[in-house]
Amino acid sequence: MERHLQFVAFLRRLDRKALAELRRSLAFDPGTYPRVFPYVEPFISRESERRSFYLLAGLFALHPDGGGSLGTDSGSATRKRTSLGEVVAQLYAQRDRSRSIEQRFITLLDADQDQLPHRLRQMISLLKAEQIPVDWGQLLGDLLYWASERRTVQQRWARDFYRVSESAIDNATEKEGGS
């Protein structure tokens, strides 16, 4: 199993006290809150991964029930991963294509490394409010490549968001026309 999926599986086994500490870590720059070092450091093999692992841990603690079977090791080799773009598209559809959700998503896509923790925290909070699950393993994988010059993660999320959004619109139109 990939290391980032092992990390998510580990997070799922943490008790309430550990999750509370991880949530508290979101008030600090990722990787700087000492009380969460024991939970995250064993999984970091390269310095370049540090911010991503700490950020994911805090976000997971904010919405731990939001993963269902997503991000676990069961069937991960054959199961299609779900990007945050697809997940936010579900939120967008549930909120009747709210312009503010789309704007927040675009702002998230434009976030640099310093802005990312704040903007992702806002988005995860919205997803939690609607009880929309997050594929934590996929999100961690994406966070590891967020700073890529080619912005491949951001481009994929945008494609996924607009593809899923348009699909939802087409399905709603078909239902209205068929009644």
Q: What confidence tens digit (pLDDT) does each residue in 45-62 have?
A: 999 999 999 999 999 999
Determine whether 85 is exposed, middle or buried from the number of CB atoms within 10 Å of its CB (0-12, 13-18, 19+).
buried
Amino acid at 152: T
Separation CA 30–CA 74 (nearest Å): 29
Q: Where are the alpha helices (DSSP H) in the chain?
A: 3-12, 16-24, 37-40, 50-62, 84-94, 99-109, 116-129, 136-144, 152-178
Q: Which two tokens stand for residue 55?
A: 């950020």
* Residue that the structure tokens 């704040």 belong to: 118
Q: Is the pLDDT of residue 169 over 60?
A: no
Res 171: pLDDT: 58
Domain 3-178 has CATH 3.30.2350.10: no
Separation CA 150–CA 14 (nearest Å): 35
Q: Quote the mean pLDDT of the chain.
A: 89
**pLDDT band for position 41 (cuts 50, 70, 90):** very high
Whether the full predicted model's pTM is greater than 0.95, yes or no, is no
Gyration radius (Cα) of the chain, Å: 17
**165 or 40: which carries more pLDDT confidence?**
40
Average pLDDT in the 12-20 region?
98
Q: With beta carbons less than 8 A apart as the criterion, state whether 50 and 119 touch.
A: no
Of 29, 21, 156, nearest in space to 84 by CA: 156
Average pLDDT in the 107-126 region?
97
Separation CA 138–CA 122 (nearest Å): 18
Largest CA distance in the chain: 58
Q: Which two tokens stand for residue 60?
A: 């997971």
Res 72: pLDDT: 43
